[in-house]
């Protein structure tokens, strides 16, 4: 596979499931004055078998053409026996448009015809006056010029190299769990639905093996049409295509693509109400055509040890289950912990774990007028630059249980974890890192903070010295787990 091999392969994806039967499509006029009625003429032998015809008209000369008109109705023959669909142009802007899709349908059946696959690409223009009319050749030339110019830029590649020792790679990032209908182009990469899904045959096979080897039930299940349909709905697959990434190494290219797709999947939570998941990344060296498969970093995040020695006690599990089953709020807190465990962005983990502590602390309904006490029961005072703050009468100002940081400190103290100095230090660092993420998206943006900057700086320096996020994150995770365990068992 060399040169434009990735483009060739991707073109083959878009041509899957081509219908062998073609439909003839034409326009009565290709130049329409804005407001003039347009007329589409359709010829297809079996059109009489369908109760409705729909034609979808898209704009052109943009990276992602969008639907502008959906015209349709019951099939109507003209005087020469061909079918016609009319459409209004009042809402169309001046420019060139394309008939992208023709759909024939009944109550139980749908047949789609796609431009460029099942019928010749068909264009028309909206103009202000008849004098502006151009020929179909000029219209097609204008479209071709735009597409050639756009494609030359799109396929030119994303250069992330920092020196001259570089190579070009084509990447396909396969994702599951997001159902897409339309392709979408971004800056030199695109996402395309494969109109296929991951099958759940493995699950059915495992169920049958379990029934056979571990039960006396004479029972086996087939992977029938219903199971296949459910599998298709639950596991749709799309591919994110990076035509060319220029970098020093394949690892750099893969990490770059994976990060772009991570952001794309976040976007899908808003546009599709689905998150999706990367299940494989394919890279192709465009110099020698060699390909590699890269698995996303998936590790079992639980305890790898098993049995009683590893703390796997049935009594504890039963107690946890019963506590969660009876108390929706506790179940909510543990669901937040599950989300924190599954969070792949290490920066976001600081926010998620802190959020659990703050949510639980707020549920305690501490009196905001109460003074904050240390582990020995002494009043704690507000500090500024390491010095106790004084009021106008030179009297030390006490801390109160009325801030996120203070209520979390109080929660940890009530659970008897640590001591005053240790907990205060931890809480200050965690809270400042949480704020860096909440306000600026990353703990590395700690320097933008207005308050708590010194605590964030200290945390960053510790992590840099130990070369590990865990030096700060692990104590936070551990305190969350200990407090949740105690809340489930003893409250």
pLDDT exceeding 90 applies to what percent of the chain? 55
Structure tokens at 415: 């659970």
Q: Tell if the pTM clears 0.85, that is, is over it.
A: no
443-470 pLDDT per residue, tens: 999 999 998 999 999 999 999 999 999 9
DSSP, collapsed to helix, strand or coil, labels residue 383 as strand
94-147 pLDDT per residue, tens: 999 999 999 999 988 889 999 988 999 999 999 999 999 999 999 999 999 999
pLDDT > 50? residue 319: yes
232-244 pLDDT per residue, tens: 677 888 899 999 9
Q: CA-to-CA distance for 181 and 193, rounded, in angstroms?
A: 6
Q: Would you say 98 and 3 are in contact if contact means Cβ atoms under 8 Å apart? A: no
Name which of 238, 242, 237, 148 is nearest 187 in CA terms: 242
Residue 21, pLDDT score: 58
48-104 pLDDT per residue, tens: 889 999 999 999 999 999 899 999 888 888 888 889 999 999 999 999 999 999 999
Q: CA-to-CA distance for 214 and 198, rounded, in angstroms?
A: 27
Phi and psi at residue 111, to the nearest 5°:
-130, 120
Q: CA-to-CA distance for 57 and 374, rounded, in angstroms?
A: 70
Q: CA-to-CA distance for 78 and 90, rounded, in angstroms?
A: 24
Conformational region of residue 37, where left means phi above 0, alpha means psi within -120 to 50, and beta covers everything else: beta
Q: CA-to-CA distance for 186 and 253, rounded, in angstroms?
A: 17
395-441 pLDDT per residue, tens: 888 889 888 999 999 999 999 999 999 999 999 999 999 999 999 99
**What's 92's DSSP letter?**
P
Q: CA-to-CA distance for 469 and 193, rounded, in angstroms?
A: 37
* 372-402 burial: b if 16+ Cβ within 10 Å, else e: bbbeeeeebbeeeeeeeeeeeeeeeeebbbe
Residue 273, pLDDT score: 67
Q: Please list the residues that pair with 283 across neighbouring strands.
A: 171, 292
Q: How confident is residue 301, by pLDDT bands cut at 50, 70 and 90?
A: low
Residue 41, pLDDT score: 93
Q: CA-to-CA distance for 95 and 89, rounded, in angstroms?
A: 11
Q: CA-to-CA distance for 227 and 239, rounded, in angstroms?
A: 24
Name which of 90, 122, 89, 119 is nearest 104 in CA terms: 119
pLDDT exceeding 70 applies to what percent of the chain? 90
Residue 302, pLDDT score: 63
Q: CA-to-CA distance for 415 and 479, rounded, in angstroms?
A: 10
pLDDT > 80? residue 372: yes
Q: CA-to-CA distance for 57 and 123, rounded, in angstroms?
A: 9
DSSP assignment of 370-409: SBPB-TTSPBPB-EETTEE-B-TTSPBPBPBS-SHHHHHH
pLDDT > 80? residue 12: no
Q: How confident is residue 271, by pLDDT bands cut at 50, 70 and 90?
A: confident
- Helix and strand numbers, DSSP H then E, in the chain: 12, 19
pLDDT, the chain, mean: 87
DSSP, collapsed to helix, strand or coil, labels residue 68 as strand
Q: Would you say 210 and 232 are in contact if contact means Cβ atoms under 8 Å apart? A: no
Residue 15, pLDDT score: 45
């Amino acid at each position: 596979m060399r040169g434009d091999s990735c483009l060739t392969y991707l073109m083959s994806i878009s041509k899957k499931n081509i219908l062998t039967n073609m439909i003839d499509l034409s326009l009565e006029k290709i130049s329409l004055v804005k407001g003039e009625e347009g007329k589409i003429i359709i010829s297809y032998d079996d059109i009489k078998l369908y109760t409705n015809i729909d034609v979808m008209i898209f704009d052109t000369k943009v990276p992602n053409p969008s639907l502008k008109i959906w015209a349709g109705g019951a099939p109507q023959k003209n005087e020469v026996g061909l079918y016609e669909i009319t459409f209004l142009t009042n809402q169309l802007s001046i420019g060139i448009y394309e008939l992208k899709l023709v759909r024939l349908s009944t109550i139980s059946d749908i047949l789609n015809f796609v431009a460029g696959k099942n019928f010749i690409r068909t264009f028309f223009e909206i103009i202000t006056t008849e004098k502006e009319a151009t020929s179909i050749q000029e219209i097609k030339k204008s479209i071709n010029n735009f597409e050639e110019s756009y494609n030359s830029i799109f396929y030119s590649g994303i250069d992330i190299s920092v020196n001259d020792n570089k190579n070009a790679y084509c990447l396909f990032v396969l994702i599951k769990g997001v159902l897409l209908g339309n392709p979408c182009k971004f800056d030199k990469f695109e996402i395309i639905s494969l109109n296929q899904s991951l099958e759940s045959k493995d699950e059915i096979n495992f169920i049958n093996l379990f029934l056979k080897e571990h039960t006396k039930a004479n029972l086996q299940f087939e992977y029938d049409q219903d199971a296949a349909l459910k599998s298709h709905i639950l596991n749709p697959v799309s591919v994110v295509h990076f035509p060319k990434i220029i970098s020093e190494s394949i690892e750099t290219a893969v990490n770059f693509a994976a990060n772009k797709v991570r952001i794309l999947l976040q976007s899908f939570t808003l546009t599709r109400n689905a998150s999706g998941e990367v299940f494989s990344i394919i890279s192709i060296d465009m110099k020698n055509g060699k390909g590699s498969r890269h698995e996303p970093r998936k590790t079992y995040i639980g305890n790898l040890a098993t049995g009683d020695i590893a703390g796997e006690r049935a009594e504890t599990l039963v107690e946890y289950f019963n506590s969660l089953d009876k108390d929706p709020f506790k179940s909510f807190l543990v669901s937040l912990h599950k989300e924190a465990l599954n969070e792949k962005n290490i920066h976001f983990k600081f926010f998620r774990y802190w959020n659990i502590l703050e949510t639980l602390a707020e549920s305690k309904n501490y009196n905001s007028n109460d003074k904050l006490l240390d582990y020995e029961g002494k009043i704690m005072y507000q500090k500024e630059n390491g010095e106790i703050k004084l009021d106008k009468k030179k009297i030390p100002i006490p801390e109160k249980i009325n801030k996120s940081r203070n209520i979390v400190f109080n929660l940890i103290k009530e659970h008897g974890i640590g001591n005053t100095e240790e907990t205060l230090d931890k809480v200050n660092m965690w809270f400042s890192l949480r704020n860096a993420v909440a306000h600026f998206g990353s703990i590395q943006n700690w320097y933008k903070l207005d308050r708590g900057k010194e605590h964030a700086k200290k945390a960053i320096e510790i992590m840099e010295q130990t070369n590990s996020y865990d030096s700060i994150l692990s104590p936070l995770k551990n305190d969350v787990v200990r407090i949740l365990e105690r809340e489930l068992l003893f409250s």
